[in-house]
Amino acid sequence: MPFLPVLGFAGTDYEKVRADFRRVTDPYTGKEIFVVPAIVPDWAVIHAIRADGNGNVICSALESDRLAVLAAKRTIVTVEEVVDADAFFARPGEIFLSSLHIDMVVVAPGGAHPGACVNTYGIDRAHVEKYLAASKTPEGFSSYLAEYVHGMSEEEYRIATFAAKGV
């Protein structure tokens, strides 16, 4: 879909700063309506809950994760685990996303940390607070990166953040 008609927007300042929000004539009613162009990201990277052996995944239904994958040119989906066919189904809050739309599936247990993974684990509040405090200054942000990103392997990060809490 190249663009989408949207109701509303008239009288706002979007028209002053977004030349790509345009008014067109609705061919059915003859009235003017706003249209907005499609967003086509080069990449979408989302974290999903589980994959099957064929690269299909089950992801959160409540965020726009699936929409982002359907919009992007290339896509990577990280997943908590790969499961057998008989365990591959969507629970409430989850939705199926076909491998047709996915370029690469990466197994990354705990991959949403410190964010939440639907039906799997919640937000790590203490870690988010630590990150927020650190990222207030360039020095703090650098030291956060040094400690958690450059300073340890993925496995070490998992142990430091998840295993330490017994999750």
Query: Where do contacts with other proteins occur on this chain (CB under 8 A)?
Result: 6-14, 16-17, 26, 31-34, 61-64, 67, 92-93, 95, 125
Least distance to other proteins, CB of residue 8, Å: 4
In terms of C-beta distances under 8 Å and separation of at least 24 residues, what long-range contacts does 5-14 make, across chains too? Answer: 5/33, 5/34, 5/35, 6/33, 6/34, 6/35, 6/36, 7/33, 7/34, 8/34, 9/34, 10/34
Residues facing residue 76 across a β-bridge: 45, 104
**CB closer to other proteins, 11 vs 166:** 11
**CB closer to other proteins, 7 vs 164:** 7
Least distance to other proteins, CB of residue 155, Å: 29
**CB closer to other proteins, 95 vs 152:** 95
